Amino acid sequence: MVDDSSASPALAVRDLTKTFESRSGTVTALDRVSLTVPRGEIHGIVGRSGAGKSTLIRCLTGLERPTSGEVVVAGEDITVLRGDQLRAARRRFGVVYQHANLLDSRTAADNVALPLEIAGWEKARIDARVTELLDLVGLSDRARNHPGQLSGGQQQRVGIARALAADPEILLCDEPTSALDAATTGSILGLLRELRDRLGITVVIITHEPSVVREVCDAVTLLGDGAVIEQGRLGALISDPSNRLHRELIPLVEPAADGLTRLQVALGHPDATVGTIDGILALLRREGIESDVAAATVETIAGRRVGRLLVELADPSQVASAHKVLDGANLHPEVAA
């Protein structure tokens, strides 16, 4: 991964705003959204449906003109471009879609060739490039198959090869795994990570799936109601229990509402003096508080062990003192009734 902040970023979005006029008044789909993606980074844009993800991707690629703001790709603001210039700027993006959007009338190889035909490459060069790309995504033996003869995961691999064909600077993935099962999702995400590592390409992934962010993203932007709610490096965001993304990405199985008093603590915060479940239980025991784990989620994300833990106290009257002990260790305890 290249993290050279002195070089110009691959993608810079500045104060992007998009409003629509509707009968009931003005709807703000995007509200001063800004984000910067350095070269070679995998940046996740997450949010629920209606958060503005689709509008953002349409503005990024010039399919929709923003009301105000800039989208700077390789130093060029593409929001002001038209015609041939806009078409040329679009080739800086390779787009991967949720439903691959392959042409049924073409074989896998001819689908990968399409962007090159449009870019006006010569036949011999196209053939060589297509062979290379299908090899890159592991589908050399499927070159002559039509999309209908390929599985969902294979179609998405063809989609990725097609997106990479004309050497884009940014691979823009719009919900690339939302239509795939868990195992296939894993292999597609693995492929995206591998491509970034091998080609140094910048990847922007738009998704509503926390697992995608957990597995491949270096940095994240959380959108809500068209505005940026949280933004930053995944490692920093994930270990901060006050962060909205923390809860989105580390979901905790909620125990039954049985009236028992429990304390929720965060694992992996950089300031915490205790970083393991054992350590937390031992810390409480040392203070004369007997406890057990009611529920826990522990993951290694961005190289850091993070998680959430629900601690059940043997004696509910000790809640206050337990809270104090955990707070002293910077574990951000919360009473969960």
In the numeric block, the tokens 């009338």 are attached to 105
Q: Which range, of 13-21, 44-52, 125-133, 142-150, touches another protein by CB under 8 A?
A: 142-150
Q: In angstroms, rounded to a whole number, what is the distance separating the alpha carbons of residues 290 and 318?
A: 9
CA nearest neighbour of 153 among 195, 108, 204, 110: 108
By CB under 8 A, name the one of 5, 49, 104, 124 that touches another protein: 104
By CB under 8 A, name the one of 93, 214, 222, 269 that touches another protein: 93
Is position 147 an interface residue for another protein (rule: CB under 8 A)? Answer: yes
3-state secondary structure of 268: coil
CB 47 within 8 A of CB 223: yes
Q: Which range, of 93-101, 133-141, 276-284, 311-319, touches another protein by CB under 8 A?
A: 93-101
Instruction: Give the burial class of 139: count Cβ atoms within 10 A of its Cβ; 0-12 exposed, 13-18 middle, 19 or more buried.
Output: buried
C-beta of 159: minimal distance to another protein in Å?
A: 8
C-beta of 8: minimal distance to another protein in Å?
A: 22
Report the chain's C-alpha Rg in angstroms: 24
C-beta of 81: minimal distance to another protein in Å?
A: 12
C-beta of 198: minimal distance to another protein in Å?
A: 23
Side-chain-side CA neighbours of 267 within 13 Å: the count stands at 25
Is position 106 an interface residue for another protein (rule: CB under 8 A)? Answer: yes
CB 191 within 8 A of CB 201: no
C-beta of 116: minimal distance to another protein in Å?
A: 9
Is position 115 an interface residue for another protein (rule: CB under 8 A)? Answer: yes
Q: Which range, of 23-31, 98-106, 292-300, 313-321, touches another protein by CB under 8 A?
A: 98-106
Is position 126 an interface residue for another protein (rule: CB under 8 A)? Answer: no
By CB under 8 A, name the one of 63, 253, 260, 314 that touches another protein: 63
β 93-96/170-174 pair status? parallel
Q: Which is nearer to another protein, 27 or 63 (CB)?
A: 63
C-beta of 86: minimal distance to another protein in Å?
A: 8
Is position 90 an interface residue for another protein (rule: CB under 8 A)? Answer: yes
Angle, nearest 10°, between helix axes 152-164 and 123-136? 130
CA nearest neighbour of 228 among 30, 43, 42: 30
Is position 101 an interface residue for another protein (rule: CB under 8 A)? Answer: yes
Alpha helices (runs of H) in 42-96, residue ranges in sequence order: 53-60, 83-90
CB 185 within 8 A of CB 212: yes
Q: Which is nearer to another protein, 2 or 63 (CB)?
A: 63
Q: Which is nearer to another protein, 113 or 309 (CB)?
A: 113
By CB under 8 A, name the one of 42, 130, 134, 166 that touches another protein: 166
Q: In angstroms, rounded to a whole number, what is the distance separating the alpha carbons of residues 319 and 88?
A: 63
Distance of CA 276 to the CA centre of its chain: 27
Q: Which is nearer to another protein, 48 or 99 (CB)?
A: 99
- CB atoms inside a 10 Å sphere around CB 163: 24
Site mask for another protein (CB under 8 A), range 14-53, x = bound: ----------------------------------------
Binding interface with another protein (CB under 8 A): 61, 63, 87-88, 90-91, 93, 95, 97, 99, 101-106, 114-115, 117-119, 146-148, 166
